[in-house]
Amino acid sequence: MHSDTNFRQMFPALKREHDGKSLIYFDNAATTLKHVDVIRAVEGYYSQNGANIHRGRHYLSEEASEIYEECRQRAARFLNASTAEIVFTHGTTHSINIVADGLNLQAGDNVVGSVLEHHSNILPWASRCTYRPVALNENGLPDIEQARQLINKNTRLIAITHVSNVTGVIVPVEQWCRLAQELGVPILIDAAQAASHIALDTQKMGCDFLALSAHKMFGPSGCGVLYGSAKALRSLKVKTLGGGAVSRVYADGRCDLRDIPWRFESGTPPIASVIGLNQALRYIESIGIGTIAEKNDNLARTLYDRFSQIDGLEFMYSQSKVPRVPIISLTNVRGDVATRVLSDSYGIMTRGGHHCAHPLHESLQLTSSLRLSLHHYNTEAEIKAAFDALEQLKDIIRS
């Protein structure tokens, strides 16, 4: 049995206070707090090791390499993949751009996505070819039947998010993967927001690519994972070359690429961040992603039920009947003002703005929103505190 206290004591930032009270961190969709073992691992690497990996025959290099590759094994287990299918990157955005570069997209090609997407799952496609977003249905989910109509012989990829960073809706990506397989189009899943909330099984999904970031799953910034099936990874062109990605370089500049995943990891990687990710994954393994999902499901129910009771304040897709993670975005408030007041007067950390989701906001005729995003170390008491604060402030912050 895991209590809120047990969860919270593993995250040192939660010990900070505001006017004698513990701060309330409701900005987990931007980045999660860092687990104490992650912090220790990163500090330990820099203070006790600091060596490069895969290139030295001394024990510091071997020690760092061993931990680095242990993380690859752990990430493979986490995603139900093989280690050859796990590429370490600098984050979800970098991972998506590797695929966008590797597909060698041309004028006339198109990529099908949705208006629910984070900018990082729009711009890499739209900057290279035609981007074709589907609308959302009444539950705030991408319209899969519209996607079927948009996909044609020039469609090179479907790129869809698993969990919205604005509304928290969980997209049933298995359905999208089945559609992709039916139509013979590869599919990429943006799992940045999903990775720390729900189980990710790439084999069950049937996806070709999946991208995630360490910093949204209790790990450090500057590190991410690109999963690609062996076939899908080998089909990509390698556009970023350098040391580590090749087995031999000839005098005239020709080279022999290493096999996957190494060909996509040129240069010195974010070693410390990968070592930190290893500890974040270890933590998730230790308590079980199911435990986190269950706690967050309870938080989500409380969050939506409670905030449905604030007269005069509305949140996106409040009538949606599909599963969600505990993220809520209030629509008829001045997000920048609300965020500042909640932070300075109440010690509640939230996020105001468009959350890197302009198309979603524009589809709802909004320019911004106030987002509250929770995780398993948050509590129902904190939800009540935020509710009470917004109840007091609603006449001031309402747009």
Q: Based on the fold, state whether residues 365 and 339 are members of the same structural domain.
A: yes
Residue 326, token pair as written in the block: 């505990």
Statement: residue 210 has pLDDT above 90: yes
Residue 131, token pair as written in the block: 């981007």
**Domain endpoint, select from 285, 318, 350:** 285
Q: Based on the fold, state whether residues 320 and 337 are members of the same structural domain.
A: yes
pLDDT given for residue 109 in this prediction: 99
What is the domain extent for residue 330?
4-30+288-397
Statement: residue 398 has pLDDT above 90: no
Q: Based on the fold, state whether residues 17 and 59 are members of the same structural domain.
A: no
Average pLDDT over residues 260-287: 98
Model confidence at 399, in pLDDT bands (50, 70, 90)? confident
Average pLDDT over residues 262-288: 98
Q: Based on the fold, state whether residues 200 and 138 are members of the same structural domain.
A: yes
Distance, CA of 379 to CA of 206 (rounded, Å): 35
Please confirm, yes or no, whether 356 is among the known catalytic residues: yes
Average pLDDT over residues 41-56: 95
Residue 34 near residue 40, CB atoms below 8 Å = no
pLDDT given for residue 247 in this prediction: 95
pLDDT given for residue 58 in this prediction: 96
Per-residue b or e along 108-132, where b marks 16 or more CB atoms closer than 10 Å to that residue's CB: ebbbbbbbbbbebbbbbbeebbbbb
Least confident of 41-55, 265-279, 311-325: 311-325
Cβ atoms within 10 Å, residue 179:
19
Statement: residue 322 has pLDDT above 80: yes
**What separation in angstroms does the CA of 42 have from each of 62, 221, 272?**
17, 11, 5
Average pLDDT over residues 197-208: 98
Q: Based on the fold, state whether residues 160 and 261 are members of the same structural domain.
A: yes
**Which position has the token pair 């959350």?**
355
Number of separate domains in the chain:
2
Model confidence at 2, in pLDDT bands (50, 70, 90)? low
Statement: residue 371 has pLDDT above 60: yes
Q: Which of 71, 129, 255, 356 is catalytic?
A: 356
Percent of the chain with pLDDT over 90: 91
Handedness of CA 225, 227, 230, 235 (dihedral sign): negative
**Domain endpoint, select from 285, 314, 349:** 285
Q: State the greatest distance between any 2 C-alpha atoms of the chain, in Å, as a whole number.
A: 72
Statement: residue 182 has pLDDT above 60: yes
Q: Based on the fold, state whether residues 192 and 251 are members of the same structural domain.
A: yes
Model confidence at 18, in pLDDT bands (50, 70, 90)? confident
- State residue 41 phi and psi, 5-degree precision: -65, -45
Distance, CA of 125 to CA of 156 (rounded, Å): 10
In CATH, what number is assigned to the domain containing residue 370? 3.90.1150.10
Q: Based on the fold, state whether residues 154 and 297 are members of the same structural domain.
A: no
Per-residue b or e along 364-388, where b marks 16 or more CB atoms closer than 10 Å to that residue's CB: bebebbbbbbbbbbbbeebbebbbe
**Domain endpoint, select from 250, 285, 320:** 285
**Each residue of 105-152: pLDDT tens digit?**
999 999 999 999 999 999 999 999 999 999 999 999 999 999 999 999
pLDDT given for residue 8 in this prediction: 95
Q: Based on the fold, state whether residues 244 and 323 are members of the same structural domain.
A: no
Q: Based on the fold, state whether residues 308 and 363 are members of the same structural domain.
A: yes
**What separation in angstroms does the CA of 141 have from each of 144, 188, 194?**
9, 17, 15
In CATH, what number is assigned to the domain containing residue 139? 3.40.640.10
pLDDT given for residue 24 in this prediction: 98
**Each residue of 333-354: pLDDT tens digit?**
998 999 999 999 999 999 999 9
Q: Based on the fold, state whether residues 331 and 197 are members of the same structural domain.
A: no
Burial class (CB in 10 A: 0-12, 13-18, 19+), 39: middle
**Each residue of 293-320: pLDDT tens digit?**
999 999 999 999 999 988 888 999 998 8
Q: Based on the fold, state whether residues 292 and 279 are members of the same structural domain.
A: no
Statement: residue 3 has pLDDT above 80: no
Distance, CA of 89 to CA of 266 (rounded, Å): 10
- HEC secondary structure over the chain: CCCHHHHHCCCHHHHCEECCEECEECECCCCCCCCHHHHHHHHHHHHHCCCCCCCCCCHHHHHHHHHHHHHHHHHHHHHCCCHHHEEEECCHHHHHHHHHHHCCCCECEEEEEECCCCHHHCHHHHCCCEEEEECECCCCCECHHHHHHHCCCCEEEEEEECECCCCCEECCHHHHHHHHHHHCCCEEEECCCCCCCCCCCHHHHCCCEEEEEHHHCCCCCCCEEEEECHHHHHHCCCCCCCCCCEEEECCCCCEEECCCCHHHCCCCCCHHHHHHHHHHHHHHHHHCHHHHHHHHHHHHHHHHHHHCCCCCCCECCCCCCCCECCEEEECCECHHHHHHHHHHHHCEECEEECCCCHHHHHHCCCCCEEEEECCCCCCHHHHHHHHHHHHHHHHHHEC
pLDDT given for residue 5 in this prediction: 66
Distance, CA of 177 to CA of 155 (rounded, Å): 15
Q: Based on the fold, state whether residues 93 and 166 are members of the same structural domain.
A: yes
